Structure 1
Amino acid sequence: MGRGRYRLGPSTARLATRALVNSMDSTDTEELAACLDRMRRDTDGGLAFLFGLSHFGRAQRQCIEMSVGTSDLSELGASTRDVLMVNSSLRVGATGRAILAHLPEPVQRKVIAEPVPRGAGPGVYRDREELMASLAEIRANGYAVGLQECAPGWNSVAAPIFLDSAVLGAVVVLKPAEVIPAPLDRYIDVVKSAAVDMGRLVGAPAPERYLAAKGA
């Protein structure tokens, strides 16, 4: 920018992502997949996903890994390619809001100002003030619940994953709304525990507020 000052651009996020991926060996990757498999098993066959935060173009989320058994995701109205290759808005879904809650407020307001994506479920937050209030609840509770936000007929529970104090992404389980149990305490515990385990795999000291999910 001149006078010895610099502005960090998209390449910084790209380098950081590359450094993180290169620092993980195949054992780490296998353990991440195993963690998702356990989460799927412990939620009675829920669809389990790991999403990472992406800053390319704008703050979004992108699927990194999944455990869906024999499902081809057609019941969600999406192909595997749609889930793996397409960045998704942080404005929608338990996963998006779990990440968004831990981003700086200027970024939050920019995301909240985005239009509701086409195809969002009937439970999506349309009122921007209600959406902002939901982020405070997520920070206080350590998890997010989505009631038919991303797809009609599907509910979700998500928890953020941290590297030190920075949010890296979130882990989520989706279940059909008619079979997901109420209250959600057991599913919440499973998902928060998985988020802690994944944070440790990428070198994050688990925040004390999430250790309770492990019974520590």
Structure 2
Amino acid sequence: MASRGAGTVLAERVFRVQRAFARLEGEVHGPGELARATGLDDSTVHRILRSGVEQDIFVRIGHGRYSLGSGVVQLAIHACAQPQDPHAVHSVLEKLRATTGGPVFFYVLVPFGTFQRLCADLAATDADLGDIGYAAEDLLSVARPLRSGAAGRAILAFCPPAVQRAALDVELPPYAGPGAITDWETLRASLADTRRLGFTVGHDEDLTGWNSCAAPVVWGQVVLGSVLLLRRIGQTPSMTAAMVVRTRQAARKLGSMFGAAAPSPFPAVRLP
């Protein structure tokens, strides 16, 4: 087997340091902490950080402490700048609505300031919107916290721990339904289940009088948003396993628009 060149080894070390910032708690780290997280020696990590500062990949904060820099944000913007056909996105939502009979919403993660979710598109009839009590323009223009509702949890479950902690400190919005999760330990357990199963359900939670199912829209290891399906409480049939499967499939389809679709890592759907 051919040996790897020095350039390849160095590149791998640089990427390991970058990834360590995403795995470690907090935003600012020193060379020693990063060395332990990557398995590299302190001097190697220090050289990578010092070189990265010159390229805006890292920023030096105070004495010997570093955070990710604007160059990483620029790379992320370019990565997400792939042109998406809005008609293709909407057709996925319309297909889900046609096969389930419930209004469907596509929420995207808003990663600036306090992390929130914003409805980017929806598939709903005028009757659906009338029952929900919102006009389409209201749903499409108001950012909502990640800690409330199935749509928020489907995103939050795949966010870094620091984002999860910040989201848990946000109060529930006044429009949350009576079934909204208020206990922190219950919420944390729900996030773990959502990450394992690839979906979450809510009962009278996202909106009063509606049950819900949401699945994350994921590209690689990054969550971009979630797909939310609503069903009126008392509507027959209620939220079924087949509806959950279709919601998860729609979310996977949207995620695949950013790159080649990978096999689903989630287990088969089973509802109580």
RMSD: 2.6
Q: Which has the higher contact order (CA 8 A, sep 6+)?
A: 1
Match of 2:82? 23
CA distance in 2 between counterparts of 1:205 and 1:33 reads 18
Structure 2 letter corresponding to 1:79 = A
Match of 2:265? 209
Q: Could you list the per-position Cα deviations for residues 23-75 of structure 1 after superposition, in whole angstroms to 9, with x for gaps in the alignment?
A: 215xx32111111010000102x101111001122111011111113347232
SS at structure 2 position matched to 1:117: coil
Against the structure 1 CA distance between its residues 14 and 132, is the aligned structure 2 distance closer, same or farther, given a 3 Å change threshold? farther
C-alpha contact 1:10 1:55 (8 A) present in aligned 2: no
Counterpart mapping for 1:149-188 below 5 A: 149-179=205-235, 181-182=237-238, 184-188=240-244
Matched, 1:90 2:113: no
CA distance in 2 between counterparts of 1:183 and 1:119 reads 22
CA distance in 2 between counterparts of 1:14 and 1:59 reads 19
1:117 alignment partner, one of 163, 173, 184: 173
Cα displacement (A) at 1:146: 1.1
C-alpha contact 2:214 2:247 (8 A) present in aligned 1: yes
Matched, 1:39 2:96: yes
1:68 alignment partner, one of 109, 118, 124: 124
Cα displacement (A) at 1:204: 5.1
SS at structure 2 position matched to 1:199: helix
C-alpha contact 1:60 1:89 (8 A) present in aligned 2: yes
SS at structure 1 position matched to 2:125: coil
CA distance in 2 between counterparts of 1:128 and 1:10 reads 33
Q: Could you list the per-position Cα deviations for residues 123-178 of structure 1 after superposition, in whole angstroms to 9, with x for gaps in the alignment?
A: 00011111111011111111010111121110111100111111110111111011
Match of 2:11? none
SS at structure 2 position matched to 1:23: coil
C-alpha contact 1:121 1:150 (8 A) present in aligned 2: yes
Q: TM-score, length-normalised on structure 2?
A: 0.69
Q: Could you list the per-position Cα deviations for residues 64-96 of structure 1 after superposition, in whole angstroms to 9, with x for gaps in the alignment?
A: 111113347232232222211111011111110
Q: Could you list the per-position Cα deviations for residues 3-32 of structure 1 after superposition, in whole angstroms to 9, with x for gaps in the alignment?
A: 744255799768845762x4215xx32111
Same amino acid, percent of matched pairs: 37
Q: TM-score, length-normalised on structure 1?
A: 0.86
C-alpha contact 2:197 2:266 (8 A) present in aligned 1: no
CA distance in 1 between counterparts of 2:205 and 2:190 reads 13
C-alpha contact 2:212 2:239 (8 A) present in aligned 1: no
Match of 1:189? 245
1:57 alignment partner, one of 109, 113, 124: 113
Matched, 1:79 2:138: no
C-alpha contact 1:13 1:55 (8 A) present in aligned 2: no
Structure 2 letter corresponding to 1:128 = W
CA distance in 2 between counterparts of 1:73 and 1:144 reads 23
Give the total of aligned pairs: 209
Q: Which has the larger radius of gyration?
A: 2
Counterpart mapping for 1:139-150 below 5 A: 139-150=195-206
Q: Which moved more, 1:83-92 or 1:104-113?
A: 104-113
Q: Could you list the per-position Cα deviations for residues 158-210 of structure 1 after superposition, in whole angstroms to 9, with x for gaps in the alignment?
A: 10011111111011111101115356201111101111111111225335325
Against the structure 1 CA distance between its residues 72 and 141, is the aligned structure 2 distance closer, same or farther, given a 3 Å change threshold? closer
